Amino acid sequence: MTADLTIVSTNRSFGGWHKRYRHTSRTLGCDMVFAVFLPPQAETGRVPVLYWLSGLTCTDENFMQKAGAQKLAAELGITIVCPDTSPRGDHVPADPEKHWDFGHGAGFYVDATQEPWARHYRMHDYVTRELPDLIEATFPVTDRRGISGHSMGGHGAIVCALRNPGRYASVSAFAPIASPLSCPWGEKALGHLLGADRSGWKDWDSAALIQSATEKLPLLVDQGDADSFLITQLKPHLLTQAAEAAGYPLTLRMQPGYDHSYYFIASFIDDHLKHHAAALR
């Protein structure tokens, strides 16, 4: 066990274990909490890992408590790791206007270049490098990795996979922000974190990255057609357009009547787990 890792809680679940840990992140310059579900197979051998990135205002707890993923993950022999959604602490700057869509709980999974954000808001480096290094050094897991997420975390999952060819074996998303370049949430966050020059934002935009992708992992996306953020913030048609232009293997399923909530995620999480399991095996 890594000396810096402190256990926060532990619960038996479907023959495996759900555990929460706290550690000091050198990348983010603060203490971070993450959750891990270890399936029963991890007691006798190493298993692959699915990283889940949550959305705005969430923590490591939302997915683990609401998605209902543990039962099938236990059957498939997949570990699930859920990091927090941003750096936290009194010394970590937050939205100066105290809004919920930026700052604490809203790190957008990018590496900031602008002050005062650059010291702490390096969530991309954290979830693609520091956290996997810690997980793989501490737990009985392999280096076979999948990545998925919801909303801001769906954007994060796609961007992490596209920016790091060869690092992940699978990728999927629920209701992702398809193009932070093209929506108010993204414009606000990237403007703060990356500065006013929008040309640099394309390096963190799913739709833009698909067009230049050198690795073409099959991408499964589910989107509810009753999602209140569909038109103004999420804009999945931009993913479709980019994938069609680039010949990228995208399966985007519009789900009738579903909204942005975890009721939606819980309804289709099994399909995503099976999508990842097929590649992670």
Catalytic residue, candidates 227, 272, 275, 276: 227
133 given a catalytic annotation: no
Catalytic residue, candidates 13, 151, 172, 206: 151
The rounded percent of the chain whose pLDDT value lies above 90 is 97
pLDDT average, residue stretch 17-45: 98
Other CB atoms within 10 Å distance of the CB of residue 8: 12
Catalytic residue, candidates 260, 272, 275, 276: 260
pLDDT digit string, tens, across residues 92-139: 999 988 899 999 999 999 999 999 999 999 999 999 999 999 999 999
Sign of CA dihedral 37, 39, 45, 47: negative
Rounded Cα–Cα distance for residues 175 and 178 (Å): 8
Q: Is the peptide bond before 236 cis (omega within 30 degrees of 0)?
A: no
pLDDT average, residue stretch 159-174: 98
9 given a catalytic annotation: no
**For residue 13, pLDDT beyond 90:** yes
271 given a catalytic annotation: no
**For residue 1, pLDDT beyond 50:** no
The rounded percent of the chain whose pLDDT value lies above 70 is 99
Contact between residue 18 and residue 35 where contact means Cβ atoms under 8 Å apart: yes
Query: Domain 6-280, what fold?
Result: Rossmann fold (3.40.50)
Residue whose C-alpha is closest to residue 13's, from 33, 32, 46, 35: 35
Mean model confidence pLDDT for the chain:
96
pLDDT average, residue stretch 1-17: 87
In the structure, what pLDDT confidence band is assigned to residue 281 with cuts at 50, 70 and 90? Answer: confident
pLDDT digit string, tens, across residues 219-275: 999 999 999 999 999 999 999 999 999 999 999 999 999 999 999 999 999 999 999
pLDDT average, residue stretch 3-26: 95
pLDDT digit string, tens, across residues 184-218: 999 999 999 999 999 999 999 999 999 999 999 99
